[in-house]
Amino acid sequence: MFVSGATILHADLDSFYASVEQRDDPLLRGRPVIVGGGVVLAASYEAKAYGVRTAMSGGQARRLCPHAVVVPPRMSVYGKASDAVFDVFRDTTPVVEPLSVDEAFLDVGGLLRYHTPVKIAAKLRADVRGRVGLPITVGIARTKFLAKVASQVAKPDGLLLVPPDRELEFLWPLPVRRLWGIGAVTADKLRTHGIETVADVAELGEPMLASLVGGAMGHRLYALSHNRDSRRVQARGRRSVGAQRALGRARQADIDATIITLVDRITRRMRTAGRTGRTVVLRMRFDDFGRATRSHTLPSATSSTEPILAAARGLVSAAGPLIAQRGLTMIGFSVANIDRCQQLELPFGTSADPLALDAAVDRVRRRYGSEVLTRAVLLQQPEK
């Protein structure tokens, strides 16, 4: 039965990298698979059952699941799979808003004369499975926020519609971490005040929430707890490429190692996709739940690791006093002003082509795995 108003789909591939590995190697199907050796980039649901999680150290993951199969990442293969999935999305509806390489919002309101959203979503899932060979979960709701929550609840390999007349009935019993912006630290803080479900947030009231987590976050959480989200799906290409990581009580050396890891990941993805960018953006979250953003625009567009890494380090260095004062719990970078091609420049005053070095490293990693080449500074980091 079609319920008027629920026309937003959130489509999210299940354990994307690990699912690609299981697709391409039948011997891995049904077995716990970990992608990445030093740091877990993805884990199959069989590995997640043992507590393995993305961004966990490889050593910890192997202790939790000693019989897991560890495979090196194949970023170029994942990039091609992502492109194929987005072809399915755009064959379904022209209104597609990418969120990352493995998820997107779709608005199917213009297709209702032909099919219900549930039938559209079912066909999309079948097409992704048939054309790309991957499992995908789809949530359907009236708002972007609730569609994403629905897909999280329906995982893995599921489909879930939240009817508009039952939104709060669905939302309120869920744990508070289902609300966007609430991580482990914030959830623990709210739990000390007896706030464990979305219903608790809705009943608490905005002023009290603001006193606990800050005005901006309190306002946002209270609105989401009542499913107030006016954002519409916006069809667009990818405007930036980014990555982020949560931090514990990080030392400066740990922060620098994280910068290197994130920038290396971002620039490899850019080169695989044939994209360049000019603006490096730093995003920070602090102990007091506040956030800050800094950016630096390069003289020319690039996908080379060195200039982007230098800009990222410069942004963090400039933010050093703020970090020292407020503590850093999350750091992220993105490269914006994305273009499809590399603008060629005459190499006046340069002794080597940094892109040639990057390309050589990429080729070695594609052939022998990401762990075979790494920066020396990362080898000095103790295993967490």
- Return the active site residues: 103
Answer whether 38's CB lies under 8 Å from 58's CB. yes
Comparing CA positions, the residue from 45, 65, 17 lying closest to residue 370 is 17
Burial (CB count <10 Å: 0-12, 13-18, 19+), residue 321: exposed
Comparing CA positions, the residue from 20, 8, 21, 19 lying closest to residue 234 is 8
Q: How far apart are CA 219 and CA 222, in angstroms?
A: 5
Q: How far apart are CA 194 and CA 208, in angstroms?
A: 13
Q: Where do the H-state alpha helices sit in the chain?
A: 16-24, 45-48, 58-64, 75-92, 117-132, 144-154, 167-171, 184-191, 198-204, 206-213, 215-225, 252-273, 305-318, 320-326, 354-368, 376-379
The answer for residues whose C-beta is within 8 angstroms of residue 257's C-beta and 6 or more apart is: 377, 378, 381
Instruction: For the chain, give the number of residues.
Output: 384
